[in-house]
């Protein structure tokens, strides 16, 4: 390592140039800061990538959680209306309820309304 100002050779750990008194530490410090900035930028990018991956996973999981609601809600409303209005419920509907909405609920519907 050499002095930035006068070019004299510096020993490791020298804070000031022994010849001209130029502060050595500064340059090293700036280099360290630059490396920290680069490191920080890289780390932030990878964090963002991880965040993005979790966004994708969350979207897929939410998608699968919301998708059943598309049939669970209408089927439950249909069963509610059928019971309220004393309308017949087909065996197919009850089996679908059993399979896709509620296993126990479907069994109770089959037991409670055995006419068809």
102 contacts Zn ion (rule: CB under 5 A) = no
Q: How far is the CB of 14 from Zn ion (least distance, A)?
A: 10
**The only residue of 17, 24, 89, 97 in contact with Zn ion, by rule CB under 5 A:** 17
**The only residue of 1, 8, 38, 50 in contact with Zn ion, by rule CB under 5 A:** 8
**Whether 94 contacts 102, CB under 8 Å:** no
Question: Which among 56, 59, 72, 58 has a CA at the least distance from the CA of 105?
Answer: 72
Whole-number Å distance between alpha carbons of 31 and 40: 14
Q: How far is the CB of 12 from Zn ion (least distance, A)?
A: 16
Question: Which among 29, 5, 31, 32 has a CA at the least distance from the CA of 19?
Answer: 5
Whole-number Å distance between alpha carbons of 93 and 113: 12
20 contacts Zn ion (rule: CB under 5 A) = yes
15 contacts Zn ion (rule: CB under 5 A) = no
> Which residues of this protein are in contact with Zn ion, per CB under 5 A?
3, 5-6, 8, 17, 19-20, 22
């Amino acid at each position: 390592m050499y002095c930035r100002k006068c070019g004299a050779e510096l020993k490791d750990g020298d804070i000031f140039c022994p010849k001209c008194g130029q502060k050595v530490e500064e340059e090293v410090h700036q280099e360290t800061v630059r490396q920290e900035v680069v490191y920080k930028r890289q780390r932030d990018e990878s964090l963002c990538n991880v965040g993005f991956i979790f966004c994708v996973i969350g979207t897929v999981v939410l998608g699968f959680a919301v998708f059943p609601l598309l049939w669970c809600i209408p089927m439950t409303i249909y069963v509610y209306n059928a019971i309220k209005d004393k309308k017949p419920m087909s065996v197919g509907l009850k089996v679908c309820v059993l399979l896709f909405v509620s296993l126990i609920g479907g069994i109770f519907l089959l037991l409670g309304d055995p006419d068809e």
